[in-house]
């Protein structure tokens, strides 16, 4: 028996606590529960506690690199009913720092299931805690905002105050560099290749790549710190800016690269890519109180007036008041009115650039926004024709 399995057996099924950092309570705000999943090497899990309102898609959520260094609380009361499988991952391994649940069913029931959620967490080295009052926790996070948090055995509860002194603060680290690819790779188009797209990997989800390849794009994925000259050297038709974790202000290298790309090639950004494009165009970003995470977020396309129900996972937003005159808002969140999409105005001769804060690949989530990939392809085709004329 390995040391890992000994540690896990000593973790799973034991009484545990979720401790939230609090300025008013030095020992933190405590939620009791039962530990499951994988035992963390340090003996505790830490990260930013956030909540997600999705009813399904927990495997895609756990494996989304945008959740790196976050403890994810699912607001739905039953999570794990459909188990886990090898095809629904958005990255090679789960990325979340931990999982917080009200109830974790022990026996999954679904024809696609290959393991239970508990087994999936154990194999992916993700700790969790269930039997938590997630409704109270969600209300607390909505009122107070996201905070640093710990998951640890009840017997170690007294160490929480000291642990908060040791772990990094939220936003202190550049999380993109912890999840980006270290080498360039190519994903071929599904069917005839129509366009070549270069993607900057800030923590890219597999389904974003798949959506691009489905519509005839060969996708060449580059590390986040790749220079504009290297991206342009492959003579692409367009640039895709991916999702990713953390504070966009930390990604100064990406902002500088995108500044040099704007106007030269069509650009499409999603999530972190939206924020990076906003910064490159001269805007500012800010941290939302508790973020948008879930598959039921209402967004209005201001160009058509149509409502889209969309999938979100972000804790930062572009400050509308800081947008320069050559940038316009294209989408708005109907819950809090924040910017959900922007576009570079056509000033004559420049390649189009646009982005959205949410996830049009819908993994998980509704499919209302998949037309944005078609819009990207159309922008590349129009730019290709423009270059032929000139």
Q: What angle do CA 67, 73, 76 make, to 5 degrees?
A: 120
How far apart CA 297 and CA 125 sit, in angstroms, is 30
Choice among 73, 217, 271, 338 that is catalytic: 271
Structure tokens at 278: 């906003």
Residue 130 bears catalytic tag:
no
Q: Exposed/middle/buried for 113, CB within 10 Å: 0-12, 13-18, 19+?
A: middle
**Residue in 189, 186, 183 with CA at minimum distance from that of residue 220:** 186
Do 64 and 49 touch, CB atoms closer than 8 A?
no
The DSSP code sequence of 306-350 is: -EEEEEEEEEEEE-GGG--TTEEEEEEETTT--EEEEEE---SSP
How far apart CA 138 and CA 53 sit, in angstroms, is 10
Residue 73 bears catalytic tag:
no
Structure tokens at 71: 């403890």
Residue 32 bears catalytic tag:
no
How far apart CA 47 and CA 364 sit, in angstroms, is 22
* Residues contacting 122, CB < 8 A, separation 6+: 8, 12, 37, 38
Q: Which residues are catalytic?
A: 271, 359, 361
């Amino acid at each position: 028996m390995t040391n890992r399995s000994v540690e896990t057996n000593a973790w799973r099924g034991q009484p545990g606590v979720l401790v939230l950092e609090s300025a008013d309570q030095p020992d933190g705000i405590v939620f009791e529960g039962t530990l499951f999943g994988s035992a963390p090497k340090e003996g505790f899990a830490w990260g930013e506690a956030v909540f997600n309102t999705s009813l399904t898609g927990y495997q895609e959520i756990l494996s989304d690199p945008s959740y790196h260094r976050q403890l994810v609380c699912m607001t739905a009361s039953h999570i794990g009913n459909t188990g886990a499988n090898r095809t629904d991952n958005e990255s090679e391994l789960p990325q979340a720092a931990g999982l917080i649940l009200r109830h974790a069913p022990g026996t999954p029931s679904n024809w696609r299931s290959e393991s239970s959620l508990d087994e999936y967490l154990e194999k992916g080295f993700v700790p969790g805690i269930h039997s938590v009052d997630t409704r109270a926790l969600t209300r607390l996070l909505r009122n107070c905002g996201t905070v640093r948090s710990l998951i640890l055995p009840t017997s170690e509860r007294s160490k929480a105050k000291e642990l908060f002194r040791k772990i990094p603060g939220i936003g202190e680290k550049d999380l993109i560099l912890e999840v980006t690819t270290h080498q360039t790779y190519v994903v071929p188009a599904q069917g005839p290749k129509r366009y070549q797209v270069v993607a900057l990997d800030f923590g890219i989800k597999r389904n974003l790549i798949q959506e691009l390849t489905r519509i005839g794009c060969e996708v060449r994925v580059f590390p986040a710190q790749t220079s504009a000259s290297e991206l342009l050297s492959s003579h692409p038709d367009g640039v895709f800016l991916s999702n990713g974790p953390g504070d966009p202000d930390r990604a100064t290298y990406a902002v500088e690269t995108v500044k040099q790309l704007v106007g030269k090639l069509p650009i499409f950004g999603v999530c972190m890519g939206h924020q990076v494009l906003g910064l490159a165009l001269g805007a500012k970003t800010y941290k939302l109180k508790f973020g948008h995470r879930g598959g039921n977020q209402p967004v209005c396309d201001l160009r058509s007036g149509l409502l889209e129900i969309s999938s979100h996972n972000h804790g930062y937003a572009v400050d509308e008041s800081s947008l320069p005159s050559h940038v316009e808002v294209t989408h708005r969140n109907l819950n809090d009115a924040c910017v959900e999409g922007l576009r570079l105005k056509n000033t004559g001769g420049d390649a189009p650039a646009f982005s959205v804060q949410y996830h049009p690949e819908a993994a998980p989530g509704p499919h209302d926004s998949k037309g944005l990939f078609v819009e990207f392809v159309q922008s590349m085709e129009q730019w290709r024709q423009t270059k032929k004329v000139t």
